[in-house]
A and B are shown apart, each in its own frame.
Chain A
Amino acid sequence: MSAASLDSGRSGRIGKMLIRATVLGLFAFFIFGPLLNLVLWAFAERWYFPNKLPSQFGFSFWARVFDPRGNAMASLLTSVGIAVTTVVVCLAIAVPAGLALGRLQLRWRGAIMLVFLLPSAFPNLPVYVNIARVFYELGLNGTVAGVVLVHAAHGLVLAVWISAAAFAAVDKALEEAGRNLGAGAWWCFLTITLPLAAPGIIAGGIFVFLESLDEFTGTFFVGVPDVITLPLLMFNASMGGNYQIASITALLLLVPSVGFMLLVERFLKPNVMATLGR
């Protein structure tokens, strides 16, 4: 090999490296640029066009958000309360259904599966609009109970899918061994099947919690004017031009979402996630 071709090989490699670094850099800017901009706004005391950066940084808006008597803390409490109740309601309905779909030989299984696929195959806006219309007549609009019902119905599909997958993955031989040793069906379920399916069910519960915490459209129609969750508070602040309060609230909502994203691959591998039917 001549020196010249060796040299062109090296410069080709450097060229490739530069292209790779540039493309990755641009992609990193695409992912993190928007988040960085949000963080800047969260700590900006004053920021007017055409200033490139905020003219003053500070924490006065954080003090306002974290004021125990302020709107934001009340919204945070409302949001967490609604999300926890939603998880309880949702799992109480989804775990039995998941057991039946994942474990038992069901008649009309295909049709039942179809029903549980439907909600993710259609836009949910018409659903929320018309639930709100019925809830208004029932006096459920603007109540926490109404919002919990909407969130639970929304989270149910995912919870059923995940718990069905969790129960289907439990080895039947273990249960049979328990039965052969003389344990009753209920005892077997409580001490063998349920504990083995628990990690999947907990993952489903976390999903439902996050979906409820982040839900906007349903709450927008059903919760107004009295139930102000964190996403609604953020929306009102942003539309009112208060970017600092909106950005701080957005950061509060970001933390659990990003944390879950980083943790989720521990118990749900990408190839499992890909088969989740969502």
Chain B
Amino acid sequence: MSSAAEQSSPRATWAGMALVSPALLVIVVFFLGPLLASVVSSFQTKAGAWTLANFDKSFELYSGDVWYTAVIVLVSTLVVGLMSVAIGGYLTLGTNPRAQGVLRWLYRWPLFIPFIVAGQVMRTFLAKNGLLNQLLIGSGILEPLAAQSYLDWRGIVLAFVWKQTPFVALMVAGAMAAIESDHIEAARNLGAGRLRILFEIIIPQIRRTLMVGLVLSYVTMLSVLSVPMMINPNSPTMMTVDVAYRINAHGDYGVANALCLISLLLASVGAWFYLRHGVARKGVQ
């Protein structure tokens, strides 16, 4: 019996469904269900009546934080993208193998370091007596008396960039390494400079990988609680901290879920792109 005939038989189809269904059930119960409950609850009062009051209250109290969150996450995504392209570009086009080796060894270190540890690490590094200030003072850029702590929006952005760049850079460098070297060689022979090759030949070919990496990063950063809590818990702060506060201090699930829905909307732009691309790719395989 050929394997194709075996697989398309109704029995094999049922076996396949039986094998997948526990995993599907877990996703439905522990992901889709709670997500739906969050959306529904954001339109309800504590007693369960329909209302828009949660959104009024959210905007009244936290509209500043919504902006603060959006700007921080967008700036971080942008910087992560620039750094990833720079790292991948140098690994692909650099002319000094030793420098490339050092860079390849360097950039991955924070890859699997959890956000909470990144938060603690930055709390010490960016403090008034942290090593960043010592470098700036030591090199004469900063007067000792002008030293300040960077534990505000700048600290959050730095922690995000530190933690997320390796992940996106890894994807980008992998995609760049997979480009046929003939294209790059041909452009080089025609006298194109390295920057021009990067922007006109390499980036167009890895655009999708870069976008997927950045979207995943963007969505992840939107829902990180530990980094803003550890670096900048006071107002203005990120929406995740507000959500935790509404629940822990007031048991106010209505406003918490309204804030969650707003962050879902911020994420959905990216999510739409990612899912469309992901399904297209996995469907072909």
Contact = CB atoms under 8 A, between A and B. Distances in A.
Co-complex (A, B): yes
Interface of A: 20, 24, 27-38, 40-41, 47-52, 93-94, 96-97, 99-101, 104-107, 109-110, 112-134, 149-150, 152-153, 156-157, 160, 168, 172, 175-176, 210, 214-217, 220-221, 231, 234-235, 238-239, 243, 246-247, 250, 253-254, 257-258, 260-261, 264, 269-271, 273-274, 277-278
The 7 closest A-B pairs by CB, nearest first: A123-B223, A214-B114, A153-B30, A126-B260, A274-B174, A97-B23, A270-B174
Contacts of B173: 270
Nearest to A50: B129
Contact of A125 (B23, B120, B215, B260): B260
Nearest to B40: A130
Contacts of A124: 223
B37 interface: yes
Chain B interface mostly: helix
Given A31-B109, A105-B7, A123 B23 contact: no
A47 B222 CA distance: 34
B256 interface: yes
30 contacts: A33-B135, A34-B125, A38-B124, A47-B129, A94-B23, A96-B23, A100-B17, A104-B12, A105-B4, A105-B12, A107-B16, A110-B279, A114-B275, A117-B274, A117-B275, A118-B32, A120-B274, A121-B275, A122-B35, A129-B243, A130-B34, A134-B37, A156-B27, A220-B225, A243-B124, A250-B117, A260-B112, A264-B112, A273-B170, A273-B171
Contacts of A93: 22-23, 26
Contacts of B263: 123, 125-126
Chain A interface mostly: helix
A238 B121 CA distance: 11
Interface in B142-195: 144, 147, 162, 170-171, 173-175, 177-178
Interface residues of B, number: 101
Interface string B1-44: 00110011000110111011011101111111011011001000
A175 B3 CA distance: 10
A194 to B, nearest CB: 14
